[in-house]
Chains A and B, each alone.
Chain A
Amino acid sequence: MGVYEIIFYLFAAVTLVSAVFVVTSRNIVRAAFNLLFTFFGVAGIYVLLGADFVAIVQLIVYVGGILILLIFGVMITNKITEVDIKTGTIHTLPAAIGVGLFTGIVGAVVLNTEWRVVDSEMPESTLTTLGTMLITEYVLIFELLGILLLIALIGAASMARK
């Protein structure tokens, strides 16, 4: 068992265990902090797959942006003076049975498929290639995403101010 395998199992365990706490913890703030570890674990998995730039973007955007936004949402929509910030759950048993069945089906499909794997060499750095692709092949989508982010920013600000 090499270093790569050990690191993979470590990151997979961190991701999945903290994700279980995210969806089962009754305390919202605890769930939000477990989401932090899930995002870190997923970033580690990206690094193991040779996607260095996407891993950095994951850390900056998810941990630095989206998670902070979610925690702000938790704090604004709960009365801080009440000490316990709890959330209720509904339909726990049917959901657990249904999701368990679905997990079994997807897992069986993944395990029984003969994936045609091309063992390509892991690139030194993906930064140059990604940058070139973003401003040549995918420039239209890149610009559209810029406009979309601007619209989302204006829309969110004007909706929250009302």
Chain B
Amino acid sequence: MLEISLTHFLVVSSILFCLGIYGVVTRKNAVMVLMGIELILNASNINFIAFARYGNFGLQGQIVALFVIVLAAAEAAIALAIVLNVYKTFVNINVDELDTLRD
């Protein structure tokens, strides 16, 4: 148990993933939902890099992790632009109160 193996990294990443899901489900503020999504993406990245280290795949897992980071950056920029527009229209960004499609 003391020797660090693949299982240790997978346990850390699955706990991080579940915390991210908890954040996405329970938060009202849209920016906090985005933070939960970032936690989920980080957990998946830990998995990719752990399998790249312990599986016999070369560095393909690290390449995929880089792509995930790029996609996360694009997603954060677009999502914040949407959040700003929602804030201009509804004056708050609580996702449970946004229930009209047009005004």
Interface residues of A (CB under 8 A from B): 1, 4-5, 8, 12, 15-16, 19-20, 22-23, 28, 31-32, 35, 38-39, 42, 45-46, 48-51, 53-54, 57-58, 61-62, 65-66, 69-70, 72-74, 76-77, 87-92, 95-96, 98-99, 102-103, 106-107, 110-111, 115-120, 122-123, 126, 129-130, 133-134, 138, 141, 145, 148-149, 152-153, 155-157, 159-160, 162
Contacts and interface: CB of A to CB of B under 8 A. Distances in A.
A86 B46 CA distance: 31
A126 B21 CA distance: 32
B46 to A, nearest CB: 6
A90 B26 contact: yes
Contact of B54 (A115, A145, A153, A159): A115
Q: How large is the interface on B (under 10, 10 to 19, 20 to 34, 35 or more residues)?
A: 35 or more
B16 A76 contact: no
Nearest to A32: B35
A160 B83 CA distance: 9
Chain B interface, DSSP helix/strand/loop, else mixed: helix
A131 to B, nearest CB: 11
A56 B92 CA distance: 36
B32 A87 contact: yes
Interface of B: 2-12, 14-23, 25-29, 31-32, 34-36, 38-39, 42, 45-46, 49-50, 52-56, 58-60, 62-63, 65-67, 69-74, 76-78, 80-85, 87, 92-94, 96
A91 B53 contact: no
Given A42-B46, A120-B53, A160-B84, A8 B65 contact: no
B14 A23 contact: no
Contacts of B34: 70, 73
Contacts of B70: 61, 145, 148-149
Nearest to A101: B18
B31 A51 contact: no
Contacts of B82: 159
